[in-house]
Structure formats: C-alpha cells, structure tokens
Structure 1
Amino acid sequence: MNQRLKLTDIIAIGFMLFAFFLGAGNIIFPPMAGQLAGHNLLPSMGGFLLTAVGLPLSGIIAVAIAGGSWEHLTKDLPVKVSTLMASLIFIIIGPAFAAPRTGLVAYEMAVKPLLSNPDKVSLAIFSVVFFAIAMFFSWSQGKLIDMIGKILTPVLFLCLAILAIAVFVAPQGDIMVAQKAYAIAPFTTGFFEGYNTMDTFASLMFGILVVEGLKGKGITDAKATTKYLISAAVIAAAGLAFVYISLFYLGATSGSIAAHSANGGEILSIYIQALFGSYGQIVLSIIVALACLTTAIGLLSSVSDYFSGITPISYRQWVVIIGIVCAVVANVGLNQLISLSVPVLFALYPVAIALVVLAFVRKFLPNPTLAYRVVLLVSLLFALVDAAKQIGVNVSVFNFLPLFQDGMGWVLPTAAALVVAMFLSPEEKSEKVSQEIA
C-alpha cells in the first residue's frame, strides 16, 4: 500500500492543524501583549513564542512519538485513570468551555458590530447557524483534511497574511515604552503569558485527530504516520509564529491610536479600521469568524472521535449531541461553566505538560510504569494547589515554591520527581509498584 502523500496534502494537513489551534483567543491576546511590551518587543515575543508555540509543537510531537493515540500515550497508566483524565480534558475543551466560547466570541467580534439592534434572539440564531456549520464540516471525519486544510484555512491564512503585510508596510504609530511587568522582566512575562494560552491540551487531542485524517488518506504505517504528523506540527507551528509575530508588532505600534483599549480585541478592531477604513470591520469579521469556526470544527471532531471510541454512541451522533450542547451553552450558561472549568484547567494542564515530557524521555526510564504514575501524581497534587488558589482558597503556605505566584508551583516538584524516577533501579520500582497495587 502506498504510504506517501503529495506535497499539497502535507501542506493541507499542516494548515488544518494550524487552523484548529488558531482560535479567536490566539488572535486577541498578542495585540495587548505587544502594546504592553513596547520597546521590549523582541524579548517579550521570544518568551511568548517559546511557550505559546513551543508547547503545542511538543505536544503534537509527543503524540507522534507515542504512537498516535491516547491509549499509546498513556499506556503506562491504569486504564481507568487514563480514561478519566482524557474524558475531563475533552469535556473541558469541548462542551464545557472552549467550544461554546468559539461561537460566543465569533458573535461578539464578527457579527454583533454589523447588526443595528443585536439582542439575545440574534445570538441564539447565530449560535444555531454557527454550530450547524461546524457540525456539517465535522460530519465526514475522514475528509477533514480536504475540507479544512484545502478550503477554509487558505482563506483564513490569506486574510491574516494581508493583515500582516499591511501592519509591517503601514504601521499606525511608533513603538512605545514598555509597561507594567513587560518593562521589568519582558522575557519571563512573555513566557508565562504564552504558557497561559494552555494550547498543550488541544495539541494532544488535535494530534490524535490528525492521525485519523491520515488514515483517511490511506496512511496507516507507524513510521509514515509519525513523519507526516511531525511535518504537520512544524507547518502549524510556523503559521502560529507568523501570526503571533505580526500581531505582537501590531500591538507594539498601536499606542497612538488605541492607547487606552481594554483588551486585545479592541486594539485589533481599532487598528484594522485604521488600516482598511470602512472595510475594516468586514476584514476583522472574516478573520475572527473563520478562526472561531475552524477551531470549533477541530474541537467538535476530536471530542466526538474520542467519546465514540469509549461509548456505543457513534461519531456522528456525538457530533450532533455536542454541537447542540455547545449552541445552548453559548447562550445560557457560559459564564457559570467558565467559573467551574478554570480550576479544572489549572489542575489538569500541568499533568498534560508532564505527560508530554514523559513521552520524550520514556525510553530513558528504567521503569516507565512507576515513573509515569509518580511524576503525574506529583504534578497533579501541586496543580491542585494552583486550582485551589483560583477559587479563593488560602494556599499562602506554598509561597516558598519557585514560580508559585505565577501559577506554576508544580514545576520544581514535578522536575524533582522525574529526576528521582530516572535514578531508581528497576527492582526498587517493581517492588514499589507491587506494594502500590497491593
């Protein structure tokens, strides 16, 4: 069987993955960061790219190294633990948080400004239409590469490229002085802000989705799958870096026209209006609508694919169920769900990063079973402290931990656990696992 893809298909896979990652939040945040960074643009942007692009890229490569499935990635964990972890992640990035937000942001930024009298009815109608379109594109699981990578993403990327060229050719002001934390520690501030995009979650799920897309193209060999998955990850990372760099520069040169903006979305809107005049809102609407739609399709598809594999309900039935739930949540319960979801995000995100690191070092571990269980348990326990802080629990007793104030108090304990796991002998590990099971 032919295990080779045409160059156009490889590019399409990378474009599809790029579009899945590039949600409205990824477009809205960099302009504000760039404005605050000012003259410290380069170190701030470097720190941001390291985590906002580097971590998702690492996540995709980890999926490729592990064998292209969640089961392979977590094979050293108890099945029930692996299933619970995956289910929570998919629920968070699916109907409970990220997916409904794509519809709401698309409405707020792409549609609402074009309406004379926006109200709850217009939001309800838009939500139904938006998620119906997302369900349509998610319906044929094996054709995502052709529909997203070859149709929607090129249009999105063209719009972003036009915006980037306009920003660099005709900047709307001079770069201003750095502000707030960006004036004191630009690199680390950018680093932490990139970390907070939390795209490593999505990388694990989207990587698995790309594997399914490759199967639809006839790629089933493990080596070929790994090669094309890594190629797609590099293309997606390059696309994300291109967009982030141009939007950082947009923000850095926005001080004279959008100095007192409340958020990056406002900066972006004002800047595009200045660049394109009366057509500015149309340009912004197209970019935001496509960015939100492609991300919604990726989330809807990946969540449906996972739950169809662990339940008797089919993939297409899950597409409908989740699409309907997302449309409803976008209208009636997003704020409440966000308040519940954020602590879960803080609790699971470090575990996802630790899982990625373990995938890279697994072959160096004398006893992977014990290493995975210990390292992930340590990351979870300290991540729960960060999650508790998010809901107002007084956890000041942990202030002694490095990076704790930045929501990353789990890093040092997890790194220490990993080092210890590497130096334990296989016999000691086997004995401890036996005791744990007993």
Structure 2
Amino acid sequence: MKDKKLTKGNYIFIGSMLFGMFFGAGNLIFPIHLGQLAGSNWLPAAIGFLITGTLLPLLAIIAISITKSNGIYDLAKPISKKYATIFMILLCATLGPLFATPRTATTPFQIGFAQHLSASQTPIALFIYSLIFFGITWAFARKPGEIINSIGKLLNPAFLILLAIIFGFSFMSPMGKASGQATTSAYQHASFLNGFLQGYNTMDCIAGLLFGIAIVTIIRNLGPKDPANIAKATAKSGLISITLEAIIYLILIWIGATSLEYFKVSADGGIAFSQIANHFMGIPGEIILAIMATLTCLTTSIGLSTSFAEALHTRFPKISYAKWNAFTCLLSFLIANLGLDQIIAWSLPMLMFVYPLAITLIALSILSPLFKKARIVYIMTTLFTLIPALLDGITSAPAIISASAWAKALLKIDSYLPFASYGMDWVIPAILGFIVGLIILGFQLAMGRSNKTIVSQTN
C-alpha cells in the first residue's frame, strides 16, 4: 500500500505538538534570567543558548530520522546493548520522574503562586496544586495516539495567545534599551559559552532523544509507513517547532536584558518574569503569567510522561504502558513536593554529566553513514567523553558531594583539561576519541577485516 502523504496542516499540527512538548518550565524562565545576566551582551549569549536550546534538539530529531531508529536505545546500541539500556534509563529518569517532569509542576507554582503564600501555607498549596497537575497529566497521557489533539490543537494555542500578550506590551512599551544595560562579570568575556551552558537547563537536547518514539508513532498514525518518508516528515516537523522556539527565546532574552532598567538581576527567571508581568499589567499580569506557565508546563509534562512510558514499555514490554505512565506521574508528584530549589540543585550535576554524552551520540548518529556505523568509532568517542563528563557532574554537585575529600582529589584531573573552567572540558577529548576511533577503524580495514564484519559487532 502506498504511503499517504502528509498535508501542510499535518506538518503544522505535528510541529505545534513538538513545540508544546519541548517548551516547558526551563524554557520559560532560563532565557529571561540569561538576558538579565548578559545585559548588553545578550545577543552573543543568546546565540550560545540557541545552539543548545534549539539547534541540538533539532539535530537530535534529525539523528533519529537519519538512523531510522525509534529513540535513545536504538541510537546508543552501536556502543553496546548494555550501554544503550543504561543510557536510556538514565535519560528517562532525568527527563521523567526524577528531575524534568517534577519541575514542570514546581516551576509554574513557584512563579505564579508561591510568592503570595506564607511559609506555612506553601507545602499544602504545593501538594494540592501538584496533585491536580499530575492528575491532568496522567489523564491526557493515557492514550499516546491522541497527544497531537490534546497538545497541538488545544493547550498549545492557548499558551501562544497568552505569551503574545506579554510580548505585545514589551514591544509597545519597552522597559529600556538592552544595549545599554550592565553585564555580570561572567558574561563580560564569555557570554557565548555561558549562554551555551545555560541551554543545558532546558533539557531539550536529551528530550529530543526521548521524544523520538512519540514522534514516529504519531507520524505513522497519520499515514507514512516507509522509514525514509517518516524520517523526512520528522525533520520537517522538527524544523517548524524549533524555529518557533528560537524566535521566542530571542524575545525572552531581550526582554530580560531590557528589564534591568527597572529591576536588579533576580535569583531566577521565575521571579524576573513575575516582576515584568506586574510592571506591564499589575496583578492581572501575574494572573496571566500563572495561567501561561501552568499551560506550557502542562504540555511538556504530558509529552515527557508519554515518552517515558513509551520508551520503557518498548524496552520492557512485560510492564504495560499504562503502568509506566501511572508510575512516572505518581513519582513526579512525590518529588515535586520536595520543592523547586532541591530539584534544580540535584538536576544540574546530572545534566553536566549526560549532556556531553548525548551531544556526542547525536553527532555520531548524524555522521554514522560516513564510517558505516562502525562500533569502534562509537566506543572510543564515548570513552574519551565519559571521564570529563563525570568530572563536570561532580564539580556541579551540591557541597555534600563536590566538597568531599574524594571529590577534591578526583577533580585535580580537571585542571589539566582544556576549557575546564568553562565546563567544556569534554570537547577536546571527544574529538580525540573520534579521531582515535577512525584510526583504529582504518587499521582494521587495512588488516583485511571486512566493513560488514566491523559493523556487525554492534548487533
């Protein structure tokens, strides 16, 4: 049977769904905060942020398309099946019930409601809010085939309308000129690199790997069955959502920089966004912000829960999709009640560890046709990346870990690695590992081993 071609409307709806899945808690508050930190250097910082916040997620989707895989496990399997399973579980836990999904509830609560509550009222209010929030998430995520309707057609347009209101006020009556604002010390000479690292907090790069299963499933349900056609549809839809996200990021970063005319650099983007909304519209502005934050984080929560349950059900089919969905929603609810500060404090070291491994995996997947998906290239690149990524994770961990004697002794290695002070010490080792892998591959081929044999080691 001939594949049914997708219409322009299908692409728009899929792109809208992807945008709703990507754009969540961190995507709303981190760009605003970045603008305040960068001040007059907001543009180079924004470019760095866009690379990790938009380009890498798009490349993750393209990697899935090129390799015709269904997600994280298939992409990492050339390294080894055990590594692929461990890495998939690690990313699923990070994006699922341990960090990202609980943050989708605590962030809108923090920026929309917590500031109006006393310390004694906050715990019970968070309990009730997160219970309702994850109850809705569970209900929408029960049927993954309907996610395009729930996110693309209903929740996402509502969010865009509310966001447009904030943008409209900012353009009609800007708070100041971004070019004339003060710049914090870290962004005076390394604004691009700091913006690049700030993009880690969105978690969109690793989210792109997790969303692969949901994307492929939805596109298949709309008509295309051939892997090549699914790959093209995935790339086109991803480009639509990432372009929209990039435009919104630029505006948010610019607004954050202009806000310095009236406000000092805030502790986080949630506080800054609340101040900006109040500046333009008073209490109604804060209400709009609370609704907007809840909607955008709810769409991401639905996408994360769906992808988490799909990924683990596919890998461990004895446990049903419904049970995985209920598990992630329940655990996310429990962890959300620990509070936003605790979630962020423990998520940062995990991100500093997994992001380099995810970036190199995406790059290897895209480049894999050049070296015929040879296992040795995957292994050497990953091994060379693993140690500096682990050191970055330890450096970023709370003091109970990073200030321990064993951690200090281990982190002495970091001083010998280039770009360690910028949190980019994994780049040179990753490149060296890739080159070493190619050299070994060339030696293996020269010794008479067939390329077919080398590739077959991945299976």
Report the TM-score when normalising by structure 1.
0.92
- The residue aligned with 1:103 is 105
- The residue aligned with 2:327 is 321
CA apart distance, 1:267: 1.5
- The residue aligned with 1:223 is 228
RMSD: 2.5
Pairs within 5 Å for 1:342-421: 342-365=348-371, 368-390=374-396, 391-392=401-402, 393-394=407-408, 395-421=411-437
Per-residue CA distance 1:201-249 (angstroms, 9 max, x = gap): 1111113321122122233221221111111211111121111111111
Pairs within 5 Å for 1:225-374: 225-311=230-316, 312-332=318-338, 341-365=347-371, 368-374=374-380
- How high is the sequence identity, in percent, across the aligned residues? 34
- The residue aligned with 2:438 is 422
**Cα distance in 1 between the residues matched to 2:41 and 2:342:** 37
The one-letter code of the counterpart of 1:41 is W
**Cα distance in 1 between the residues matched to 2:188 and 2:241:** 31
CA apart distance, 1:328: 1.4
Between 1:364-373 and 1:329-338, the stretch displaced more is: 329-338
Per-residue CA distance 1:5-50 (angstroms, 9 max, x = gap): 2222211111111111111211111122212322222222222212
Per-residue CA distance 1:120-166 (angstroms, 9 max, x = gap): 22221111110010111111111111211111111112222232232
Given the superposition, is the C-alpha separation of residues 179 and 217 from structure 1 closer, same or farther in structure 2, using an over 3 Å criterion?
Answer: same
Residue 153 of structure 2 aligns to a residue whose secondary structure is helix
Given the superposition, is the C-alpha separation of residues 193 and 179 from structure 1 closer, same or farther in structure 2, using an over 3 Å criterion?
Answer: same
Given the superposition, is the C-alpha separation of residues 332 and 397 from structure 1 closer, same or farther in structure 2, using an over 3 Å criterion?
Answer: closer
- The residue aligned with 1:191 is 196
- The residue aligned with 1:79 is 81
**Cα distance in 1 between the residues matched to 2:77 and 2:122:** 49
The yes-or-no answer on 1:53 pairing with 2:44 is: no
Pairs within 5 Å for 1:38-49: 38-49=39-50
**Cα distance in 2 between the residues matched to 1:336 and 1:241:** 29
The yes-or-no answer on 1:147 pairing with 2:150 is: yes
- The residue aligned with 1:88 is 90
The one-letter code of the counterpart of 2:13 is A
The one-letter code of the counterpart of 1:162 is I
- The residue aligned with 2:125 is 122
**Cα distance in 2 between the residues matched to 1:79 and 1:5:** 34
The one-letter code of the counterpart of 1:45 is A
**Cα distance in 2 between the residues matched to 1:184 and 1:405:** 13
CA apart distance, 1:299: 0.9
CA apart distance, 1:290: 1.0
**Cα distance in 2 between the residues matched to 1:335 and 1:273:** 23
Between 1:321-330 and 1:29-38, the stretch displaced more is: 29-38
- The residue aligned with 2:13 is 12
The yes-or-no answer on 1:178 pairing with 2:183 is: yes
Report the TM-score when normalising by structure 2.
0.88
**Cα distance in 1 between the residues matched to 2:339 and 2:267:** 24
The one-letter code of the counterpart of 1:291 is T
Match of 1:210 among 215, 230, 246: 215
Residue 219 of structure 1 aligns to a residue whose secondary structure is coil
**Cα distance in 2 between the residues matched to 1:172 and 1:7:** 38
- Unmatched runs of 5 consecutive residues or more in structure 1: none
CA apart distance, 1:333: 7.7
Per-residue CA distance 1:316-365 (angstroms, 9 max, x = gap): 12111211111112114876666555433332221111100001111111
Given the superposition, is the C-alpha separation of residues 61 and 324 from structure 1 closer, same or farther in structure 2, using an over 3 Å criterion?
Answer: same
Aligned residue pair count: 436
**Cα distance in 2 between the residues matched to 1:134 and 1:251:** 30
Contact in 1 for aligned 2:66/2:366 (Cα 8 Å):
yes
Between 1:258-267 and 1:133-142, the stretch displaced more is: 258-267
CA apart distance, 1:380: 1.4
**Cα distance in 1 between the residues matched to 2:336 and 2:53:** 26
Per-residue CA distance 1:408-431 (angstroms, 9 max, x = gap): 211101111112222334552769
The one-letter code of the counterpart of 1:86 is M
Match of 2:170 among 164, 167, 171: 167
Given the superposition, is the C-alpha separation of residues 338 and 283 from structure 1 closer, same or farther in structure 2, using an over 3 Å criterion?
Answer: closer
Given the superposition, is the C-alpha separation of residues 143 and 411 from structure 1 closer, same or farther in structure 2, using an over 3 Å criterion?
Answer: same
**Cα distance in 2 between the residues matched to 1:289 and 1:196:** 18
**Cα distance in 2 between the residues matched to 1:314 and 1:232:** 29
CA apart distance, 1:366: 5.6
